Amino acid sequence: MRAASPFPDMNKKGPLMIDRSRYDENNPLDMHNLQFDIAAQRLDLEPWIAEKIKHPRREFVVRFPLRRDDGRIELLSGYRVQHNTLRGPAKGGLRYHPNVDLNEVRALAGWMTWKCAVVNIPFGGAKGGVTCDPSTMSQHEIERLTRRYIWELSPIIGPDSDIPAPDVNTNPQVMAWIVDTYSVFKGYTCPSVVTGKPIEIGGSLGRLKATSRGAIFTLREAAKVLNIDLASSTAVIQGYGNVGYHAAQLMEELGVKIIAMSDSKGGILSHKGLNSSEAYEHRQRTGSVSDFREADNITNAELLELPCDILVPAALEGAITRENAAKIEAKVIVEGANGPTSPFADDILYDNGSFVIPDILANAGGVTVSYFEWVQNGQKLFWTEEDVYKRLDKIMKTAFQEVYDISARERVNMRTAAYLLGVGRVAKAKRLRGIFP
């Protein structure tokens, strides 16, 4: 069921009606739309502006063949959604996963728009993906898939129009193939078509850990306002990939004890604490964190409900819903993942006193350092890692404070506060730019 527009008349303001029963909690796009509608209602947006900026500006769907190593040909579906370009070029990652579909990509693209606006960087929002299962593919197959998908996308991406980056199951190597493929298409080397690429071909120092580092900067700020001593805190991490692993490492540096972590195959728990690097090596060696020595195996559902101070969802959408929200005991939830918590769960967590640092704030460090990479590429010079982190810290600290102040002033949860900030900025850009012709 698709939620109808809450605006009875596009040309008349209010009353904006939100019928929550019409939004499906299992549908990431409905969850994006509900988060947006809550903010649009509070901001009292002009209905035509709200309808314009809520939905994607452009959508690109491709179907292309992949030759597998054994000679078989498979047909794959790929997507790129440019949600918004009012404040700058479209920006957002590429996901390779069996669950990728147009609906999910639309939601992820929308979240990028609000995220870039929350941290006030001059980008719009986009996302892309290919429906595939990389765990069954060789590196050669992933390379061929990437090159063909990017060739199809070449007319609509570019350093000043739409700049992809890594997301689930894509990494700096995939970005390197994208640079190469797009450069062949253009006829000259064009590193700034993507961010998150290897340092050797124009990547930025600090990009690999940027999402997690940004998240930990927001956790540090939250700990200050909530009077939490991080050095005596415990943390649980769902999803042990790029974001989850680096978040674990950075929390360890602050003295946080990591008691549980998981990946798609299951989780592990040790009240004595888990060593993040050893668990990562175990996962690299065996394909999962499960069966790690001196830890008990647990399910992903059990993991989310463990008593702890900090919970970092760093896997996929839909982890915290009205089904399990009441059982979550974490004091602070730092959303490394995009869309892990539904608005229905948000209400339960808020009433129970859990402090959620929402995705469009918590994981904005990745796109912020992507922005730094793009700026460095444009200037043809490179910043030191120290410089990158100092600038990132400043941006994350400012964004946290702005969102926190709105949340206190408007008496809303941190997610709605972040949307009021992000959506408000994009709406303002629309008002200023007006309508063509």
Contact predicate 331/309, CB 8 Å: yes
Q: What's phi and psi for 297, nearest 5 deg?
A: -75, 135
Query: Any contact of residue 336 with ligand NAD (CB under 6 A)?
Result: yes
Instruction: Identify the residue among 124, 128, 241, 422 touching ligand NAD (CB under 6 A).
Output: 241
Dist. CA 146–CA 177, nearest whole Å: 7
Binding to ligand NAD (CB under 6 A) within 48-107 occurs at: none
Quick one: 49 or 395, whose CB is closer to ligand NAD? 395
Query: Tokens standing for 1?
Result: 């069921």
Span between the terminal Cα atoms of the chain, in Å = 35
369 touching ligand NAD, by CB under 6 A? no
Cβ-contact 304, 238 below 8 angstroms: yes
For 354, the 3-state DSSP assignment is coil
Measured from the CB of residue 136, what is the shortest distance to ligand NAD in angstroms?
A: 14
* Beta bridge partner(s), residue 58: 82
Closest residue to ligand NAD using C-beta atoms? 241
Minimum distance between the CB of residue 316 and ligand NAD, rounded to whole angstroms?
A: 5
**Residue 333 within binding range of ligand NAD, rule CB under 6 A:** no
Name the one range near ligand NAD by CB under 6 A: 3-11, 16-24, 260-268, 350-358.
Answer: 260-268
Decide if residue 407 touches ligand NAD (CB under 6 A). no
By CB under 6 A, residue 128 contacts ligand NAD: no
Interface residue with ligand NAD among 204, 211, 276, 407 (CB under 6 A) is 211
Locate the DSSP E strands across 293-349.
296-298, 310-313, 332-334
Binding flag, residue 123, ligand NAD (CB under 6 A): no
Q: Does 262 sit near ligand NAD (CB under 6 A)? A: yes
- Using the rule CB under 6 A, is 404 a contact of ligand NAD? no
Which stretches of 275-418 are assigned E, i.e. beta strand? Answer: 296-298, 310-313, 332-334, 355-357
Contacts of 437 (CB under 8 A, 6+ apart): none
The secondary structure element, H or E, covering residue 381 is: none
Q: What are phi and psi of 60, to 5 degrees?
A: -125, 120
Which spans in 91-200 are helix H?
Answer: 102-118, 139-153, 172-186
Q: How many residues bind ligand NAD (CB under 6 A)?
A: 24
Candidates 27-35, 73-81, 181-189, 259-267; binding stretch for ligand NAD (CB under 6 A)? 259-267
**In this chain, which of 137, 337, 406, 414 binds ligand NAD, going by CB under 6 A?**
337
* Among 353, 252, 340, CA closest to 303: 340
Indicate the angle between helix axes 414-433 and 47-54, nearest 10 degrees: 110
Considering only residues 33, 113, 204, 238, which one is a binding residue for ligand NAD as defined by CB under 6 A? 238
Helix-then-strand count for the chain, H and E: 14, 12
d(CA 257, CA 251): 8
Report if residue 341 touches ligand NAD, rule: CB under 6 A.
Answer: no
- Considering only residues 181, 204, 276, 338, which one is a binding residue for ligand NAD as defined by CB under 6 A? 338
Q: Would you name the residues annotated as active-site residues?
A: 127
Q: Single out the segment in contact with ligand NAD by CB under 6 A; choices: 13-21, 183-191, 238-246, 323-331.
A: 238-246
Which one of the spans 25-33, 223-231, 308-316, 384-392 is the region binding ligand NAD (CB under 6 A)? 308-316
Distance in angstroms (rounded) separating the CA atoms of residues 355 and 334: 9
167 is an interface residue for ligand NAD by CB under 6 A: yes
Instruction: Pick from 47, 110, 166, 343 the residue near ligand NAD by CB under 6 A.
Output: 166
Residue 145 engages ligand NAD in binding (rule: CB under 6 A):
no
Q: How far apart are CA 295 and CA 282, in angstroms?
A: 12
Q: Give the residue with the Cβ less far from ligand NAD, 228 or 303.
A: 303
Residues that bind ligand NAD (CB under 6 A): 166-169, 211, 238-244, 262-264, 300, 314-316, 336-338, 363, 366
